[in-house]
């Protein structure tokens, strides 16, 4: 994990006179998982939308690796309502995978998110949690180099949340892509991320960064190092 997939230097963003982000400096390496946490309104989603190319930055530099394949999972599903569950995946795969490769991956992902029996259903026939699972599967279906996750587990019950985290980590280990994750759950961050960036202030910046060296599959919330990070994060929330 030596090459930078993403580099941000001195980035700032305002909405009219309201400064949201200032002096953001950040690098993401190939194969790395980084979580962004912080209080509501700290600019996490704004930063992600800038990285995704959905918002312009005011100042600063943002460099993505040439030819990078980027996928997003947003807080609210952005599915194609006129296409079936499976065709939502097929549609985004067209320019990236062969039909044979795409079909095998769709089967794997729809089974993984528990939607294989709904492959011919339409988004309007799905519950909110099922739509979010489909959004998740669709993002993975193009074999991204960078996956942006904006609270992807928010509308999902605890049991399925655990299964989806396991699916994500298994897929990440197999495909070796990078992940940027927004979450309001510090426990989720410490279980998934290699690094955690805490956004705070007005305008917001990266106030503190935590590095976790324990492999994801070997971590537990009761581990001394993990518990210590959770305590530090709790203190940052109290001070913000």
Express each pLDDT in 31-69 by its tens digit.
Answer: 999 999 988 878 899 999 999 999 999 999 999 999 899
Give Cβ neighbours of residue 100 (< 8 Å, ≥ 6 apart): none
- Model-level pTM? 0.91
CA distance 200 to 190: 18
Q: Residues 146, 6: contact at Cβ < 8 Å? A: yes
Q: Residues 180, 146: contact at Cβ < 8 Å? A: yes
Strands (E), the chain: 4-15, 18-29, 33-38, 59-64, 70-73, 146-150, 178-182, 195-200, 205-211
Which listed CATH number (3.40.50.620, 3.60.20.10, 3.40.50.300, 1.20.120.1730) goes with 1-68+146-152+189-239?
Answer: 3.40.50.300
240 residues of the chain, pLDDT tens digit each: 457 899 999 999 999 888 999 999 999 999 999 999 988 878 899 999 999 999 999 999 999 999 899 999 988 889 999 999 999 999 999 989 999 999 999 999 999 889 999 999 999 999 988 898 899 999 999 999 999 999 888 767 888 788 888 888 988 998 889 999 999 899 999 999 999 999 998 899 999 999 999 888 888 888 888 999 999 999 998 876
Condensed to tens digits (0 to 9), the pLDDT of residues 125-152 reads: 999 888 988 999 999 999 999 999 998 8
The residues of the chain that CATH labels 3.40.50.300 are 1-68+146-152+189-239, 69-144
What's the CA angle centered on 219, arms 214 and 224, to 5 degrees?
A: 85
Q: What is the DSSP code (8-state) at residue 68?
A: -
State which fold the 69-144 domain adopts: Rossmann fold (3.40.50)
Q: Residues 181, 193: contact at Cβ < 8 Å? A: yes
Is the Cα torsion angle 187, 168, 148, 179 positive or negative in sign?
positive
């Amino acid at each position: 994990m030596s090459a930078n997939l993403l580099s941000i230097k001195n980035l700032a963003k305002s909405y009219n006179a309201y400064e949201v982000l200032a002096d953001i400096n950040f690098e993401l390496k190939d194969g790395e998982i980084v979580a962004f946490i912080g209080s509501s309104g700290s600019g996490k989603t704004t930063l992600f939308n800038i990285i995704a190319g959905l918002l312009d930055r005011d100042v600063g530099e943002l460099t993505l690796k040439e030819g990078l394949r980027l996928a997003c999972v947003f807080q609210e599903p952005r599915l194609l309502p006129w296409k079936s569950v499976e065709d939502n995946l097929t549609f985004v795969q067209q320019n990236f995978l062969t039909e044979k490769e795409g079909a095998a991956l769709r089967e794997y992902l729809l089974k993984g998110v528990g939607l294989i029996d709904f492959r011919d259903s339409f988004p309007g026939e799905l519950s909110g949690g099922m739509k979010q699972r489909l959004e998740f599967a669709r993002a993975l279906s193009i074999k991204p180099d960078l996956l942006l996750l904006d609270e992807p587990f928010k509308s999902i019950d605890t049991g399925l949340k655990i299964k989806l985290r396991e699916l994500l980590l298994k897929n990440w280990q197999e495909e070796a892509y990078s992940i940027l994750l927004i979450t309001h759950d510090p426990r989720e961050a410490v279980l998934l991320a290699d690094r955690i960036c805490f956004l705070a202030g007005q305008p917001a910046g990266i106030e503190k960064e935590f590095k976790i060296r324990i492999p994801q599959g070997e971590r537990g919330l009761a581990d001394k190092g993990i518990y210590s990070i959770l305590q530090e994060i709790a203190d940052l929330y109290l001070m913000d």
